[in-house]
Amino acid sequence: MMDIPGEIAPEQIVRLEHDAVVVLDQRLLPAERAELRCRSAAEVADAIRTLAVRGAPAIGVAAAYGLALAASTGDDVDAAYATLAASRPTAVNLRWALDEMRPDPTAARARRIHADEVERCRRMGAHAAPLVPERARVLTHCNAGGLATGGYGSAVGAIRAAWEQGRVERVWVDETRPLLQGARLTAFELETLGIPHAVIVDGAAASLMARGEVDVVITGADRIAANGDTANKIGTYGLAVLARHHGIPLVVVAPTSTLDPAAATGAEIPIEERDPAEVSERFPAWNPAFDVTPADLIAAIVTEEGVHTHPFAESLPAPVRAR
Ligand SMILES: CSC[C@@H](O)[C@@H](O)C(=O)COP(=O)(O)O
């Protein structure tokens, strides 16, 4: 596939150089395109913790590069593993990528994991596009685009594949409080791809649905339990309840590196609680970064292996192993 002018290439999102893991600092987008050089696994962990690099597959890729950097610079690989694994708790891709790297923490293996994640996104997009109705008004939440996966995108990849098939009329972009991944990152990516879109405040989704202006909700995921319960950015559960009320399908698009068969249900998924100051600097606040959508509210989960439907415990595939 040809690069789209202006589209951010995988190696611009995150890459390994001889002395650093270099990430595009997503905290500054879309105003500024600045790179952050992380010269140790601890600095990569900081970049993950502070959301300079974010999104479940992308933090797995960054951690893989961080472990390769530690190995190549002679740092303690076990200590680097522990530091990186502790950087964020919810996205299972982080632990998955580190476990795939541990037996062979080389640059080649990390780059293979990165390339494979992007390839998985392209396959998910191809599987998911036919689920999008003709002339669809799609609503998405947070950012599950190329920035979040290391290239191409999961939910945004599905939207983009559907758009290329002429199925998408427009995308409603939840701004995604409190850190505005939707308003800053998804809107930026859709603009780059030339896909018509409009940002809404999270609280406007109900009214839009009631007006009949949403045909399908498509999101990514940070961790999917064996029964299909899905952790994703806070607010996804609310959207799922709204979608059910209005008879609108919710489709989750995520690679098998996001599956956690060790978690029987969503109750076993750890939910990250971030600094309350991200919500209110003046007043006490509660700031969970994710919520869990019960499987019952999800119409389909799309992985690179295909479209999975109820019962998810039987239809979901096993997580992939790195080559
Ligand atoms: C393909 S990314 C899927 C999820 O990681 C995404 O929807 C999300 O919730 C990201 O949260 P973030 O806190 O920005 O890392």
Position 5 scores a pLDDT of 64
Instruction: Tell whether 177 is in a known binding site.
Output: no
Return d(Cα 82, Cα 71) in angstroms, integer: 14
Position 323 scores a pLDDT of 65
CATH number assigned to the domain comprising residue 264: 3.40.50.10470
- Residue ending a domain, among 56, 84, 119, is 119
- Residue ending a domain, among 119, 143, 160, is 119
Atom of ligand 1 nearest to the CA of 254: 1
What was the ipTM of the complex prediction? 0.98
- Residue ending a domain, among 88, 119, 150, is 119
Identify whether residues 84 and 137 lie together within a single domain. Answer: no
* Centroid of ligand 1 to alpha carbon of 90 (angstroms): 10
* Centroid of ligand 1 to alpha carbon of 232 (angstroms): 6
pLDDT tens over the chain, length 323 residues: 445 666 899 999 999 999 999 999 999 999 999 999 999 999 999 999 999 999 999 999 999 999 999 999 999 999 999 999 999 999 999 999 999 999 999 999 999 999 999 999 999 999 999 999 999 999 999 999 999 999 999 999 999 999 999 999 999 999 999 999 999 999 999 999 999 999 999 999 999 999 999 999 999 999 999 999 999 999 999 999 999 999 999 999 999 999 999 999 999 999 999 999 999 999 999 999 999 999 999 999 999 999 999 999 999 998 887 76
Ligand 1 mutation pick, 23, 121, 143, 273, max ligand atoms within 8 A of CB: 143
Residue 1 placed within a domain? no
DSSP E strand boundaries for the chain:
14-16, 21-24, 35-38, 136-140, 168-174, 197-200, 216-219, 223-225, 230-233, 250-253, 259-260, 290-293, 300-303, 306-308
CATH number assigned to the domain comprising residue 71: 1.20.120.420
Residue 321 placed within a domain? no
Return d(Cα 183, Cα 38) in angstroms, integer: 27
Identify whether residues 201 and 305 lie together within a single domain. Answer: yes
How far does CA 213 lie from the centroid of its chain? 25
Return d(Cα 249, Cα 240) in angstroms, integer: 9
Identify whether residues 49 and 176 lie together within a single domain. Answer: no
Position 1 scores a pLDDT of 44
Identify whether residues 149 and 25 lie together within a single domain. Answer: no
Task: Tell me which residue range forms the domain holding 53.
Answer: 10-119
DSSP string, 272-295: -B--GGGT-SSS----BSEEEE-G
Answer for the pair 145, 171: CB distance below 8 angstroms, yes or no: no
Identify whether residues 142 and 290 lie together within a single domain. Answer: yes
- Ligand 1: which residues within 6 Å by Cβ? 54-57, 91, 142, 144, 148-149, 154, 181, 220-222, 232-233, 289
